[in-house]
Amino acid sequence: MHPGVRWGILVIWVWAWAFAAGAGEESLGPYPSLEQVTGEIRQLEKDHPGRARLLIFSSSAQGRPLYAVRISRDDGRPRPEALVAGNIHGDEPIGNRTALAVARFLLEEDGRDPLATQVLQVAEVLIIPLLNPDGYARTQESEGKAPVKERRTNGRQVDLNRNFPRPGFGIWLPLGYSGSNNPRSTRYHGPQPLSEPETQAVRDLAASHPFFAAVDYHSAAGMIIPAKCQTRTCSREHKQMAKAYRQAQSRPYSIFNRPYWSPLWQGNMEDFLLAESGTLSLLIELGNQKERPGKEKEEFWKMNPRDSTAVVGNNLKATLSAILEAYQITGGKPLCGCKR
Ligand SMILES: [Zn+2]
């Protein structure tokens, strides 16, 4: 063998070994560490100054900053605001992947892709990729293996998406999924509504930003769950928004409607944003069977596919379509704070 070839093989071998060792450190790939996610969020502003603005709007129960990025045209014209959020459950990082993909798509495709262009013509989009950094940090530290309770909840072991007030005059069915008053439950709703810094931060953000639309990512049931309405009109408008989402999907999710006359409150963010601020809101359960090929044994991998590409692709334009539909329904004004 020619010495040059031998050296070449050695170099390739060392490179491959180093690459494999580096890859081993990220056992939850493609879901990066909290520091890396934070870096990605900060990078948006560096790459797109004037159009992406970083916002640290509060901090978590364990003192980690909560980041948002506001995406708009750089023309000084204020526009109505929409919200895209993810990962309020710490062990659902597919939500931060999708939210960040939406952010990048809007920033890179404005003026090129018709949907991105139309959305930014009429709206600004506030994106919160990761609403529960404490739960995410525990998910990462345990390589996805900590008990669900520890991964899903915040630093005080509260299920944040059950910690919002339930409207409906306090009448709600105490079903399992509605949240539990048992502190040991994975769906513990906390000592009282809005007891947690993360949910208080959402409340304060919604009070100062009148969002006309919100899309919030969870996983992994492959469903679109509109906020629970209290009137027939509200219910119809939400169905319209959900259908716009579904029609833009190549692998459509099912729509799960809670009837407007039912007491099926969950204490979740969507119901709260609608009841409190009149925001047309959808909860998206990312990931249906077609997006998750193969069988996984570990809960983490059942909820977050090893390759996030299909899920991100199936939900990116759907999110923008739903925002645009909500704009057409509302004219960019939140539905009033009256009974919806
Ligand atoms: Zn969730």
> 289: CA distance to ligand 1 center in Å?
17
> 302: CA distance to ligand 1 center in Å?
13
> 193: CA distance to ligand 1 center in Å?
18
* Per-residue confidence (pLDDT) for residue 105, from 0 to 100: 98
> 87: CA distance to ligand 1 center in Å?
7
Is 3 a residue whose pLDDT tops 60? Answer: no
> 170: CA distance to ligand 1 center in Å?
23
Model confidence pLDDT, tens digit, residues 272-301: 999 999 999 999 999 877 777 678 889 999
> 8: CA distance to ligand 1 center in Å?
49
* Per-residue confidence (pLDDT) for residue 194, from 0 to 100: 97
Model confidence pLDDT, tens digit, residues 260-269: 988 888 899 9
> 197: CA distance to ligand 1 center in Å?
18
102-138 core/surface letters (b: 16 or more CB in 10 A; e: else): bbbbbbebbeeeebbebbbebbbbbbbbbbbbbbbbb
Q: What is the mean pLDDT of the chain?
A: 90
149 touches 184 (CB < 8 A): yes
Query: Cα(324)–Cα(241) distance, rounded to whole angstroms?
Result: 9
Model confidence pLDDT, tens digit, residues 97-110: 999 999 999 999 99
* Proportion of the chain above pLDDT 70, given as a percent: 89
> 224: CA distance to ligand 1 center in Å?
12
* Per-residue confidence (pLDDT) for residue 100, from 0 to 100: 98
> 218: CA distance to ligand 1 center in Å?
4
- Cα dihedral 168, 170, 171, 172 sign: positive
Is the CATH code 3.20.20.150 the one for domain 28-330? Answer: no
Torsion of CA 185, 187, 190, 195, to 10 degrees: 150
334 — pLDDT class (breaks 50, 70, 90): confident
pTM: 0.91
> 179: CA distance to ligand 1 center in Å?
12
* Per-residue confidence (pLDDT) for residue 17, from 0 to 100: 45
126 touches 142 (CB < 8 A): no
* DSSP for 67-109, written as a single string: EEEEE--SSS----EEEEEE-SSTT-THHHHHHHHHHHHHHHH
| Domain locations in the chain as residue ranges | 28-330
